[in-house]
Amino acid sequence: MIASIIGLTVTMFLAGAAEAPPRIARPVDHRPLGVDHRVDDLAFTTLDGATVRLSDFADASAVVIAARDANCPLSKKYGPRLAAIETDYRDRGVRVIHLNVAPTNTPEDMREDLRTTGFAGTYAADHGAGAAARLGVRTTTEVFVLDRSRTLVYRGAVDDQHGIGVSKPAPTHDYLRDALDATLAAHPVDVKATGAPGCAIETAPVAPAARPVTYHDQVSRIVRANCQACHRDGGVAPFALETYDQVAGRARMIDYAVGEGIMPPWFAAPNEHVSWQNDLSLSESDRATIRAWVAADRPEGDPADAPVAFDWTPGWQIGTPDAIVEIPDAIHVPAEGVMDYQYVYVRTDLPEDRWIRRMDVRTDHPEVVHHVLVFIEEPRRPNESRNDFRRRWNGGVRGYFAGLVPGQTWTVYPDGMGKKLPAGAWLKFQIHYTPNGTAVDDLVRIGFDFADEPPATEVRTSSAAETEFIIPPHEKNHAVTADVRFRSAATIVSFAPHMHLRGSAFRYDLILPDGTTTTVLDIPRFDFNWQLRYKLREPLDVPAGAILRATGWFDNSADNPANPNPDSAVPFGEQTSDEMMIGYFEWYRAGE
């Protein structure tokens, strides 16, 4: 039985609502219904007593289920906004079900709510906790977006304009509109779940009805959400996983990779203090589903249950760039062998400083490109010694700017934020190729989308790094540590640890002025082959006087199969046979 709490109770979903609804750490784990899962054919009772089901909206391009309470102040504030969205998207095939979840609302209350808002969609009462319990509705402003295959693609707030006792002049993030735009374009939704400030409701969650595990019903949705960003036609992975035959044909390998935690690539240990916007790891339930499907001999199921196939648009993911910087000559990638990192310097021709809103790294042959890192770094000058050059740029410690890494090819900064590209800057491209049996000539480029004016918040990249170290021969667990002290308050938005072949583990610790130490990123098994960037779901505030400590551990023993020579003493250096210990992090000044 749902009990509406009309007072604006501050719950975990309401905390911080004056700034923005909090983003949910693991949308796929949301109970009873996680994002990217298929929704049962729920039934609703309209104000006229008629029964409608989700299957009655089979011709809709998307369905929005919007929780309502006619007497909740925040529900009232979002009435006009929902009515406008309903009108704006109706011609695009979107249908809205307004689901009243407040048992204290009388039929007169609901009819007045309908009259006042002018909703044109279905208005239904769910005071018996049927649909609301199956969806796991938490507040009276929560919305749910289902694509045309009844896959839940977003749950959370309409936008971030209204919070507890506070309203902005306009929203900064239009979560519902963004989710609908992505869904209608058959693209992945960026922000999949947020909290929804509103009047809290209480309901006992009801788990979805148990269904036999099949490819089209469950497994295809897991693969679409977690694998196809790389494993698709034209993707960076060596093979596609877009059809039943492709997935079933590699089922045993998938079972092994999932069981061993090899795929999807994600190395951050669970952390109660932070969560990650780009967390690639599978949930335990999804992992169990895949393994059960393989054990059941890969049943295909009904193709009618399949999710909508994503439209992986080829080319630039940021639209037509305002500027493109391209390496001057294509690089030959042989059919076999191991290639050293390729370093190419290109000077931009921008006459003035520009501010980057979005950037995307593209390559002609993503199937042979493991990653590309882009630095702002000038090449070695004529007659400049190697040591002088290294001192000037500190061997790659400074200047990290952008990258193409597994699962991420483009970077988008929120409104009001951006990264500075200095006039006439040199860009250094570090390119890691992995020959795949076919020789190709590859050209790499980066595209920029500029802001019209300097942003309120400048995103910077710094590092906690150490360059003066020697790893002794045969040393299995050699630690190297570097500190950065914050002279003024700051906010960290991402981390990108970097080591070479002997790197075995990495950790970032935040030490507050009172000595309290918190581990913010722990990578117990570092893998040189995966140069991942870890983007915080909620930015990390750092007070003045705090220290960010980065620690890297190195295995220079014969037990490390990647070790080129366990007999050597290993110094800092840019070659993969040398080592690096760099803890990059992106941040901005507090108050910007």
Is residue 209 a part of any domain in this protein?
no
Report the alpha-carbon distance of residue 362 to residue 431 in Å, rounded. Answer: 12
Do 469 and 577 belong together in one domain?
A: yes
Buried b (16+ CB within 10 A) or exposed e, 473-501: eebeebebebebebeeebbbbbbbbbbbb
Number of domains in the chain: 4
Do 393 and 283 belong together in one domain?
A: no
Closest CA to 534 of 506, 512, 562, 573: 506
Do 430 and 337 belong together in one domain?
A: yes
Is residue 493 a part of any domain in this protein?
yes
Do 122 and 162 belong together in one domain?
A: yes
Is residue 398 a part of any domain in this protein?
yes
Long-range contacts of residues 170-173, Cβ cutoff 8 Å, at least 24 apart: 172/20, 172/414, 172/415, 172/416, 173/20, 173/414, 173/415
Domain end call among 413, 434, 456: 456
What is the token pair recorded at 554? 């190195």
Do 503 and 427 belong together in one domain?
A: no
Do 375 and 486 belong together in one domain?
A: no
Is residue 310 a part of any domain in this protein?
no
Do 472 and 452 belong together in one domain?
A: no
User: CATH number of the domain that 114 lies in?
Assistant: 3.40.30.10
pLDDT the model gives residue 8: 33
Is residue 15 a part of any domain in this protein?
yes
Beta bridge partners of 449: 358
Do 349 and 286 belong together in one domain?
A: no
Q: What's phi and psi for 319, nearest 5 deg?
A: 80, -170
What is the token pair recorded at 578? 């040398």
Domain end call among 407, 434, 456: 456
Q: What is the pLDDT along the chain (592 residues), one digit of tens a residue?
A: 333 333 333 333 333 334 457 767 667 666 667 899 999 999 999 999 999 999 999 999 999 999 999 999 999 999 999 999 999 999 999 999 999 999 899 999 999 999 999 999 999 998 766 899 899 998 999 999 999 999 999 999 999 999 877 788 888 889 999 999 999 999 999 889 998 999 988 776 677 778 899 999 999 999 999 999 889 987 778 899 999 999 999 999 999 999 988 899 999 999 999 999 888 889 888 999 999 999 999 999 999 999 999 998 778 888 899 999 999 999 999 999 989 889 999 999 899 999 999 999 999 998 899 889 899 887 878 887 777 776 666 656 777 888 887 666 788 888 889 999 999 999 999 898 989 899 999 999 999 999 999 999 999 999 999 999 999 999 999 999 999 999 999 999 999 999 999 999 999 999 999 999 999 999 999 998 888 889 998 899 999 999 999 999 999 999 999 999 999 999 998 778 899 999 999 999 987 7
Do 381 and 483 belong together in one domain?
A: no
Do 109 and 184 belong together in one domain?
A: yes
Is residue 113 a part of any domain in this protein?
yes
pLDDT the model gives residue 190: 86
User: Domain range spanning residue 97?
Assistant: 3-202
Q: What angle do CA 141, 144, 148 make, to 5 degrees?
A: 155
Domain end call among 402, 428, 456: 456
pLDDT the model gives residue 6: 33
User: Read out DSSP for 326-384?
Assistant: E-SSPEEE-SSS-PPPEEEEEE---SS-EEEEEEEEEES-GGGEEEEEEEE-PPPPTT-
Closest CA to 415 of 159, 194, 222: 159
Q: Is the CB of residue 375 less than 8 Å from the CB of residue 396? A: yes
pLDDT the model gives residue 584: 93
pLDDT the model gives residue 124: 94
Q: Is the CB of residue 453 less than 8 Å from the CB of residue 406? A: no
Q: Which helix (H) or strand (E) holds 149?
A: none
Tell me if the pTM is above 0.75: yes
Q: Is the CB of residue 504 less than 8 Å from the CB of residue 553? A: yes
Please state, as a whole number, how many other Cβ atoms lie within 10 Å of the Cβ of residue 198: 33
Closest CA to 298 of 217, 239, 230: 217
User: CATH number of the domain that 549 lies in?
Assistant: 2.60.120.230
Report the alpha-carbon distance of residue 19 to residue 163 in Å, rounded. Answer: 8
pLDDT the model gives residue 337: 92
Is residue 33 a part of any domain in this protein?
yes
Is residue 484 a part of any domain in this protein?
yes
Do 277 and 403 belong together in one domain?
A: no
Q: Is the CB of residue 377 less than 8 Å from the CB of residue 426? A: yes
Q: Coil, helix or strand for 22?
A: coil
Report the alpha-carbon distance of residue 466 to residue 480 in Å, rounded. Answer: 7
pLDDT the model gives residue 404: 86
Do 237 and 190 belong together in one domain?
A: no
* 9 DSSP 8-state letter: -
pLDDT the model gives residue 130: 84
